[in-house]
Amino acid sequence: MTGMSANENRPMTVSEKIFSKASGSPVKAGDFVLANIDLAMTHDITGPLAVKGFYEIMKDREEKKVWDPTKIVIVFDHQVPADSINATANHIMLREFAEEQGILNYDVYEGVCHQVLPEKGHVLPGDLIVGSDSHTCAYGALGAFSTGIGSTDMAAVFATGKLWFRVPETFRFEVEGSLPERVYSKDLILHLIGDVGVEGVRYMAAEFGGSTIRSLSIPERMTMSNMAIEMGGKAGIIEADEVTADYLKERILYYEFDPYWKSDEGAEYVGVRHYDVSDLEPQVACPHNVDNVKPVTEVEGTKLDQIFVGSCTNGRFEDIKIMADIMGDEPVAKGVRLIVVPASRTEYIKLLKAGYIEKLINAGAIVEFPCCGPCMGGSFGLLGAGEVGLATSNRNFKGREGSPESFVYLSSPATAGASALTGEITDPRKV
């Protein structure tokens, strides 16, 4: 949908344009708006509470129907296959709700929500998307304003299709230069988080732009937008361009790219930071905060018990290929557990057909079917007391991936692959 014609004399950020469309009139940062939601997503952890809240809202109405079943998607990904009796009860409840309401439900075999929705064509530039998961900001990689909300807010969305927002200010990250060899978008986003801190863009739209960002593929952009929440962002948005259009044309029939969904020249930002990444080193986030970021050369040699490659941040075909290619035909280092979890069934099959699944298993890796397991310290892959893990996921809080007495470092798939060969954190440029 092309943007608003009113107030066209005032340059707008892409986020302001999206909220103008969603509220039906021109808005600016700081305005409070009741916005129409284009897409709502919930999953098997947060969904049950949203469903209970929905029925509470609708208890006095004769017809208890969601506002628009075609604009709601349920994904089973966190506790899949069900790892407890409580999980089975949640799954049953959500399946029944989806059937009753006519809602699309991606069951346990499909993959992680933040990979599944874009790859299935549910995300479009200019959309306002909410999900009852903090990393819903990942969809901003396609030019949508996408943000996480609580389950009770989701209940209200189910009932009305609307939600109150304060239109956020925008903080612009202008990134120039070519990423050096074996330095990737994960290293870049860790560097930015380390620079501004975990509250650096609190309740702002983190807008990523510049020649470096424009050169990134959609999978690389997803990594960037996914972690905007780790700097406090309400959303992490990358302006749609021809790269976005090419990705969407593979998924959506008759898709026509609308160049409107960009920030105008002269749009007002609360802050702008400029970066040249030509000399950027591989980055590692150290325990127990995502903004505790250091160049890999400062933490080389840290002994590891486990390496996890996957998650909605870095579980795509391209990520796992990077790791596997660095490992070559060498085995996983003795004493290290390498757990690999592709982000979706589609990505898993691509890896399978390309021979990477067999290659990794032969090297000593454990390859699991798509889910959120190790990332959330869920059904498998937990770290024990005193153990040290390296992960390509998005959070390293105390107890995030197992025991509160364990230690989690975050890195790119390249660093993970190099480290899998040595059993310690290793600079991928040296392998």
Output the known binding site for [4Fe-4S] cluster: 312, 372, 375
Burial (0-12, 13-18, 19+ Cβ within 10 Å), 164: exposed
Closest to 166 (Cα-Cα) out of 379, 63, 60, 19? 19
Contact 408, 401 (CB under 8 A): yes
Rg of the Cα trace of the chain? Answer: 21
How many C-beta neighbours within 10 Å does residue 334 have? 7
Burial (0-12, 13-18, 19+ Cβ within 10 Å), 420: buried
* Per-residue tokens: 146: 């996408």
Give the separation between CA 191 and CA 207, rounded to whole angstroms.
15
Q: Which residues of 385-399 are buried (b: 16+ CB within 10 A; e: fewer)?
A: eebbbbbbbbbbeee
Give the separation between CA 355 and CA 67, rounded to whole angstroms.
45
Contact 226, 313 (CB under 8 A): yes
Q: Cα 287 to the chain's mean position, in Å? A: 20
Closest to 44 (Cα-Cα) out of 82, 69, 78, 88? 78
* Per-residue tokens: 281: 């080193």
Indicate the annotated binding residues: 312, 372, 375
Q: Where are the alpha helices (DSSP H) in 291-344?
A: 311-314, 317-327
| Residue bearing tokens 């609708």 | 58
* Per-residue tokens: 338: 């390498």
How many C-beta neighbours within 10 Å does residue 121 have? 14
